[in-house]
Amino acid sequence: MKSLPLDQIETVFLDAGNTLVSIDFAWVARELGALGLQVAVPALRRAEAAARPAVSARVAVTERTEGSSSFSFYIRAVLERLPQAPDAAEGERLARGLERVLVNPGNSDRLWCEVMPGVPEALERFRALGLQRIVVSNADGSVERGLTTAGLRLLLDDVVDSQVVGFEKPDRRIFDIALERSGARPETTLHVGDLYAADVVGARAAGCHALLLDPWGDWPDMGCAKLPDLSAVADALAGAR
C-alpha cells in the first residue's frame, strides 16, 4: 500500500462486478444441478475467485470482457477450479448449457445482482470521507439499473457503463470519460477492480492509481496494491486521513 498516495485520493472509481456485486451463485448452482453437476455455493464462489487470473490473462490478449465467447471462457475457467472439476468435454457442455440460460444481452443485471458483504457500508464510509464514488464498469448497458435495484445507486455519484459510452476497459477512454464527467484528476483518483488486465492496466493508462481486489490470495505479485475487499479499501483510505 506504500505505493499509493492514499492521503491524496479524492475520487474512487469502482468496477461493478466482483467489486460491488457478484453473480447470483445460488442460481448458477441450481442450473448446474439441472445439467447434472451438483455444486455447493461456497465451492462455486471460491472457484470463481480462483479463476480471475486466468480470465485476466485472456483479457490481456483480447482486450474484451463482454460477449458470448468471454462468458463461455469465464464459466469454463470457474468449472476447472472446482474441487471435483469436470473434464474438458463435460466442462464445455456445462458452459454451453449455462450460457443458454444465464446470458441475456442487455439484462446481465439479472445475473450480477448479489450485493457483496460490506459494500453498502464501505460506500457510506467513502462518502463520509468526502470521496467521489464513480462506477466504471464493462457491462451491457444494464449496470446502472442493476445497481439501482440492488439499492447501491444512491450511494454513488455516477455510473459509466462501457456499452453506453462505447469503450471497454482496458481502453483508457472509458476512464477519460469518467474523469471528464466527474471533474476528477487522475493523480488523485484510485480505481478499484478485480481483473488486472482490465482494471489496473486501464486505470494506469489513464494516469489513475489502481488497486486489485484479491479476496483469497489467488493473484501472484502483479506489481500493484492488493486488498481483499471494499471494506479493507475503506479502512486503508480512512487510516491515511
pLDDT band at 6 (very low <50, low <70, confident <90, very high): very high
Burial of 61 (C-beta count, 10 Å sphere; 0-12/13-18/19+) = exposed
pLDDT digits (tens, 9 = 90+) for 84-137: 999 999 999 999 999 999 988 899 999 999 999 999 999 999 999 999 999 999
| Cβ partners under 8 Å of residue 149, min gap 6 | 109, 113
The 10s digit of each residue's pLDDT in 35-47 is: 999 999 999 999 9
Q: Which helix (H) or strand (E) holds 136?
A: strand 132-137
| 8 A C-beta contact, residue 18 and residue 52 | yes
69 pLDDT band, cuts 50/70/90, is: confident
- For residue 66, name the pLDDT band (cuts at 50, 70, 90): low
CA distance 126 to 120: 10
For 190-241, give the DSSP string. EEEES-IIIIIHHHHHTT-EEEEE-TTS-S---SSEEESSHHHHHHHHHHT-
pLDDT confidence of residue 227: 98
- Compute the distance between CA of residue 16 and CA of residue 133 in angstroms, rounded to an integer: 12
Higher pLDDT, residue 68 or 7: 7
Query: How far is Cα 198 from Cα 99, in angstroms, rounded to an integer?
Result: 22
Which set of grid coordinates corresponds to residue 118?
460490506
Question: How, if at all, do strands 158-161 and 132-137 pair?
Answer: parallel
* Predicted pLDDT of residue 67: 60
User: Looking at the predicted structure, is the pLDDT value of residue 1 above 80?
Assistant: no
> What is the model's pTM?
0.95
**Which triple of cell numbers denotes residue 177?**
470519460
Convert the pLDDT of each residue in 171-222 to its tens digit: 999 999 999 999 999 999 999 999 999 999 999 999 999 999 999 999 999 9
pLDDT given at position 45? 97
CATH superfamily, with its number, for domain 6-21+112-239: HAD superfamily/HAD-like (3.40.50.1000)
